[in-house]
């Protein structure tokens, strides 16, 4: 027990933050590899689903705006569940909650592949949305196991894995979908998801940062979840119901109105001396707020552009697409056409992980937003498939640069005991933007259709519809990226000099603070006490 920790019978010393001297390299790397596997599994499923949307649309006889529900329903439930799952992870332990979440995701994946109709599939995808809560929990575990000096590099490598996941999952998932149907892709994923669930249970240790004596704020969780779900539903269904329809306005109104009893309930709950589901002080911290704002807007732009890009690869050239064989749809080709995006993400994310400590977060994040916006504009002006593929490379590089850098503002600012809540709420904001992006894309493609020529009246989107979508994505990404200027830097030359010699994941040189020396804490790092966090045995 630390001499400075609490004293008396039944008292516990707070967990010791990991340093270069006391962290378990082998275990930390094992957690990282396991998270990489989870990313691959999730992206395999999502990677085949996106290029399969036109086929699913045809199978279930729905339009482009309706089929976007398959993406939006997943986001709606993920957004609603994220703050609840994140808080439960902080209270009961991230391993326990992650294991339960992985099992629920595996069951949902199994059910989705057997969808007999569109309504059933949307419902199954809603359950599957629990998968969006997995990575925030995993990121929290990773932050606890790596010393602060190595977190930027670990985060960068994890961001690179998203590129690897796209590069592998898109062509592989598309190949399976093209030759065996999109349903079989779900079936083939079941063994891997179950295996990963078993590995989480067997190999991951319980978090040292948990507070089992804290009473869960179920009332606040229910009100917040219902509010978020109503708002996202209104945004997702606006094109189908009509933006001024009673249903759209009703769901939006319910979502906003529920925020009032939520805030009142949270105030009352805190007056009772209990911990609310959302720590408003935590969300109000400058770097946390900036990270949430940047990734919300970036998520909107990326989902909007990716949704439109898939359709552009599968629609005919007469409507601004690149499919010369239309109306024949080749899912595999569409999947292969996304590979340049993945390649850009892989290369740049890996490089960003090595230089972010030296340059700081803000220069890379600003560069990433500008590069992404430029890529979107170039794609909008492309006149050939080869040109679009090259422009995709720019988009992937920009996305990787933005994501791999800006997340460090959050994970290097928040106290580890609050990391579950902080990463979960970041996930909420990121996916809230994404859930808006997909219906906007569907709305644009459904609203701006071909009005002349042999395809007039076909309902196919016009070339202007694709261009407008990419222009909107470019503008919102650029504007969102500028918000990083309001952040307080957590990395950069002054801090890099102390840790420049360290390897990527702590192998080899073991410089840094000793166990008895305080870990270097930059001015913006949270100073919340960890004395309330109960350490648990490994």
> The domain that contains 428 carries what CATH number?
1.20.1250.20
Least confident of 61-65, 165-169, 368-372: 165-169
Same structural domain for residues 233 and 303? no
Same structural domain for residues 349 and 482? yes
Work out the pLDDT band at 320, boundaries 50, 70, 90.
low
Same structural domain for residues 47 and 100? yes
Note whether residue 512 is domain-resident.
no
End-to-end CA distance of the chain: 16
Note whether residue 476 is domain-resident.
yes
CA 86, CA 423: separation in Å to the nearest integer?
7
Helix and strand counts by DSSP (H, E) for the chain: 20, 0
Least confident of 53-57, 102-106, 155-159, 528-532: 528-532
Note whether residue 380 is domain-resident.
yes
Note whether residue 517 is domain-resident.
no
Work out the pLDDT band at 15, boundaries 50, 70, 90.
low
Note whether residue 516 is domain-resident.
no
Residues contacting residue 216 through CB under 8 Å, at least 6 positions apart: 87, 88, 91
Q: What is the pLDDT of residues 74-128, one digit of tens each?
A: 877 877 788 888 888 888 888 888 899 999 898 888 888 888 888 889 888 888 8
Indicate if the pLDDT at residue 307 is higher than 80.
no
Same structural domain for residues 252 and 313? no
Same structural domain for residues 55 and 133? yes
Indicate if the pLDDT at residue 297 is higher than 50.
yes
Range of the domain at 238: 217-276
Q: Which residues pair with 461 in a beta bridge?
A: 449
CA 481, CA 496: separation in Å to the nearest integer?
23
The answer to whether 532 and 417 are in contact (CB under 8 A) is: yes
Tokens for 97? Answer: 């909650």
Closest CA to 381 of 261, 390, 450, 23: 390
237, 258, 276: which is the final residue of a domain? 276
Q: What is the pLDDT of residues 360-394, one digit of tens each?
A: 888 998 999 999 999 999 988 888 888 888 988 99
Same structural domain for residues 336 and 480? yes
Instruction: Give the SS3 label for residue 315.
Output: coil
Q: What is the pLDDT of residues 216-225, one digit of tens each?
A: 788 888 888 8
Tokens for 424? Answer: 């979960």
Same structural domain for residues 308 and 344? yes
Same structural domain for residues 175 and 321? yes
Same structural domain for residues 192 and 323? yes
User: In this predicted structure, what is the pLDDT of residue 518?
Assistant: 35
239, 260, 276: which is the final residue of a domain? 276
Note whether residue 86 is domain-resident.
yes
Provide the number of structural domains found in the chain: 2
DSSP per position, 505-523: TS-S---S--TTSPPP--T
Top-ranked range on mean pLDDT: pick from 63-67, 240-244, 283-287, 431-435: 283-287
Same structural domain for residues 247 and 384? no
Work out the pLDDT band at 414, boundaries 50, 70, 90.
confident
Same structural domain for residues 253 and 197? no
Note whether residue 150 is domain-resident.
yes
User: In this predicted structure, what is the pLDDT of residue 533?
Assistant: 40
Total-model pTM = 0.71
Q: What is the b/e burial string over 316-331, where b = at least 16 CB atoms within 10 angstroms of the residue's CB?
A: beebbbbbeebeebbb
Same structural domain for residues 173 and 116? yes
């Amino acid at each position: 027990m630390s001499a400075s920790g609490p004293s008396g019978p039944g008292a516990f010393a707070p967990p010791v933050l990991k340093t270069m001297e006391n962290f378990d390299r082998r275990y930390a790397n094992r957690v990282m590899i396991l998270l990489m596997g989870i990313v691959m599994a999730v992206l395999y499923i999502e990677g085949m689903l996106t290029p399969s949307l036109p086929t699913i649309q045809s199978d279930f006889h729905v339009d482009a705006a309706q089929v976007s529900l398959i993406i939006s329903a997943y986001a709606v439930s993920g957004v609603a569940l994220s703050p609840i799952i994140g808080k439960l992870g902080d209270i009961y332990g991230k391993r326990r909650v992650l294991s339960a979440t992985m099992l629920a995701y595996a069951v949902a994946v199994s059910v989705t592949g057997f969808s007999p109709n569109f309504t059933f599939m949307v419902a199954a995808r809603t359950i599957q949305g629990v998968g969006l809560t997995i990575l925030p929990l995993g990121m929290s575990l990773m932050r606890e196991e790596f010393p602060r000096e190595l977190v930027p590099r670990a985060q960068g490598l994890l961001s690179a894995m998203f590129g690897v996941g796209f590069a592998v999952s898109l062509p592989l998932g598309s190949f399976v979908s093209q030759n065996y149907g999109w349903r079989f892709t779900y079936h083939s994923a079941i063994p891997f998801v179950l295996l990963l669930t078993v590995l989480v249970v067997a190999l991951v240790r319980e978090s040292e940062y948990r507070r089992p004596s804290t009473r869960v704020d179920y009332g606040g969780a229910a009100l917040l979840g219902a509010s978020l779900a109503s708002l996202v539903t209104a945004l997702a269904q606006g094109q189908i119901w009509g933006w001024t329809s009673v249903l759209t306005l009703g769901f939006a109104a319910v979502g906003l109105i529920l925020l009032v009893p939520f805030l009142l309930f949270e105030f009352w709950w805190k007056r009772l001396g209990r911990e609310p589901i959302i720590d408003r002080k935590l969300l109000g911290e400058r770097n946390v707020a900036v990270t949430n704002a940047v990734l919300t807007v970036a998520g909107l732009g990326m989902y909007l552009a990716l949704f439109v890009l898939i359709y552009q690869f599968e629609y005919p050239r007469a409507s601004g697409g690149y499919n010369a064989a239309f109306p024949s749809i080749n899912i595999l080709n569409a999947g292969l056409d996304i590979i340049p995006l993945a390649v850009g993400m892989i290369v740049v994310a890996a490089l960003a992980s090595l230089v972010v400590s030296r340059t700081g977060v803000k220069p890379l994040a600003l560069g990433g937003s500008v590069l992404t916006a430029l890529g979107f504009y170039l794609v909008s002006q492309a006149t050939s498939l080869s040109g679009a593929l090259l422009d995709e490379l720019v988009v992937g590089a920009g996305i990787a640069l933005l994501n791999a850098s800006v997340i460090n503002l959050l994970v290097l600012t928040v106290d580890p005991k609050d990391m579950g809540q902080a990463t979960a709420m970041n996930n909420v904001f990121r996916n809230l933007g994404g859930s808006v992006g997909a219906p906007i894309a569907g709305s644009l493609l459904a609203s701006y259709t071909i009005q002349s020529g042999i395809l007039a009246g076909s309902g196919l989107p016009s070339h202007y519809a694709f261009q407008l979508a990419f222009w909107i994505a470019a503008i919102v990404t650029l504007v969102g990226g500028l918000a990083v200027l309001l952040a307080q830097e957590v990395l950069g030359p002054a801090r890099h000099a102390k840790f420049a010699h360290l390897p990527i994941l702590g192998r080899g040189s073991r410089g840094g603070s000793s166990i008895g020396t305080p870990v270097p804490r930059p001015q913006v790092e949270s100073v919340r006490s960890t004395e309330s966090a109960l350490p648990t045995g490994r």
